[in-house]
Amino acid sequence: MDSSAKEREREVSSRRTSEIVAITASAGGVEALSQVLSELPPDFPLPIVVVQHLDPHHPSMLPEILARRCAIAVKQAEDGDALKPGTAFIAPPDQHLLVNADGTMSLSHSDLVHFVRPSADLLFESVAASHEDGTIAVVLTGTGSDATMGVQAVDKMGGWVIVEDPETADFAGMPRAAVETGAVDEVLELGEIAGRLVALAGDGGRREYDAGRAE
């Protein structure tokens, strides 16, 4: 985190509360998402939006796979869906997923970003714009550089960025690219991420990490 960001964090008060979790993964993501989401309690208090890079030419079974493994609700996002606490909304194949300021989601078939659709960059940027410092962004295993612009947008708005440790991720490309932006707050082992999300989702956890960022 650069000096200006650190100075900004010294001004952060305990008024900040987490509002939404945005997660992305690519290669190796099904198992990584399964581990993180299955360890969240059914009363997890925040909505979750997910971009997993998928084959654009086939229907996705990912929501059904995750739903069988998770205590939280999991569904494929539909245009106009309203965000709901304790629910993970999965971007459908070949559609960008965007979060709107009114608490709804939109789907778009606009151009590929970093050669992919859905794009983590577009998701993270939309969440940062709509939820500002209430955003928690998570980058899991994957190849390529999707999410690099997105994590910088989240960081600029005062959100919190967690990245799976590239040294232990199944595919290090996306996590390493995110870390190299300098916009990442925590690099964690995969098994630590769900517990950290639970801590950050509560007011106490949010105040705790605000204090940590100000040090």
Positions marked catalytic: 26, 53, 146
In this structure, what are the phi and psi dihedrals at residue 176, rounded to the nearest 5 degrees?
Answer: -65, -40
CA distance 195 to 41: 10
Which residues, 6 or more positions from 82, have their beta carbon under 8 angstroms from its beta carbon? 103, 104, 105
Residue of 143, 140, 149, 98 lying closest to 121 (CA atoms): 149
Tokens of 162: 């967690």
CA distance 73 to 47: 10
Tokens of 60: 């996705």
